[in-house]
Structure 1
């Protein structure tokens, strides 16, 4: 069942990504010859409105084949107003960007649904308290629920941590304990900590950790839009930073995951709840959008860079350069895929 869920989720994400390219291409009058979910041998195909819609044997991606554009033949030239290579560079950029953009839109839609259905988060309930910390000195106890800091309502542990980190000076905590509301003045201190990439940082803290208690937050449609926007932007920033840290060597290459890891994550989420499955699907959709914008020649981002070069230089890259960089891009992608699979196998044996 987990494998089926994985394939359905991946096919759905690929379809939405390619639908972005397809929609933009049709808008500019480019003929789309093939819309494929999967690679390799064709399993099923149907022609509709000038496009062959097909499912292929290897369901680990997909593509739209436009007239005048073929990554396997990067120097291809085809004549006609409906040819991709005869469109202005800015139009090609829009067509290329539309795929990743569709993934961001899909993620926002999924986050919106999660917000309406009920988003699960850690409750702002105190678990452990560090000895001699500002929280202990102020009389904070295990099980206390933080309702408000200064004039800001606190609904989740994430909000609590963010507000303390970004604050200045002493803070007024409104705390619920045994059905009573208490007010405590706490001045955070600067302490050593680690961020999500395990880098050593300094941040404002009061010396508390959360209790293992989940709270479900239901949003109205207006606040759900804000939630969806914030989560999509936050996820995008996290993935961009992750790529940056990987290039810098801060994140080891052993952390790269392949299709096995993705499949396991999706399978585990599907067994947990529909909300968890929607959340991981949204995150993978953002991941797909961000990674496709990287300036690697075989990806959308690489082709966007070629077109930006054409706008600036007022000429296309030479066929030899275009061919060399495209092949180099495919080598990079294949290497990353093999590394991900190698790491997946290592994790399975461990």
Structure 2
């Protein structure tokens, strides 16, 4: 191992990128706006972004080639810009919307949430997610009413009383629906918002890129950063460039039950629902975290899959690992800390500069 790196990562920059990304609606399949912003920011730092047919972005950082084992090939880092959301399933006779989920979340986590309905012709309408029995003053079983798709609807903030009224707004089956992120960044470093999964990791990767550009440093091996757009529905990075031999999925670390990570830690996942991650890569990440003095935790996630999992299932012959900032209440009202995001960027920098 080389001496401690201790990069002077630009914390303010990382958090500003995160704030910008969280404000851009991007449910899986509706990522054109956020990918445009990602491309613009990459270009501002001096990097170009190649767009794949399904909308993923690939940013290549050439390696120096001056040391290391060329047989190891390119390192891939992947984080996803897509989030949970919904789609219009039907317009109900009273003008409200029945919706179908995008991504895996519990219905009670979106009850009462504000949302935007995005029409195909570019219009946006506000609404609120409610149970079909939304008031205890009216429905005696409102408290016990099961929160499931059939019992949920969206009340549109427009003067609609019928299906025809809603359709006249241009709202139709198949329109995307995004949740209000409700972002709060506190002075003490706590960050609470929807969609920290996985925009916190994307911000960490931009912190890495900003440091490389400012420090004029180049990794030994080529690095390809993949910003994926369909992770929440299972196939974000299922197809990756063939020169990638090692891939690190940069995604949120879960918190709770018998897990060790906190919101200030970098989570290193040894195994998720798809099986164990690569022994050597995981061991190296642990050793680098120790050497760099980065607070970290190693955990097992039995109800979790990542873009590295998708790449392996897609047939990629790679070694894979998973790291990311600890995030509490994932797929709900999430919270992390700036320390975990900056720590994630620092750990990834140590990995690519030493490989």
TM range (shorter): under 0.3
TM-score (norm 2): 0.25
Say which structure, 1 or 2, has more relative contact order (CA 8 Å, 6+ apart): 2
Could you say which structure has the larger radius of gyration?
Answer: 1
Higher helix share: 1
Higher strand share: 2
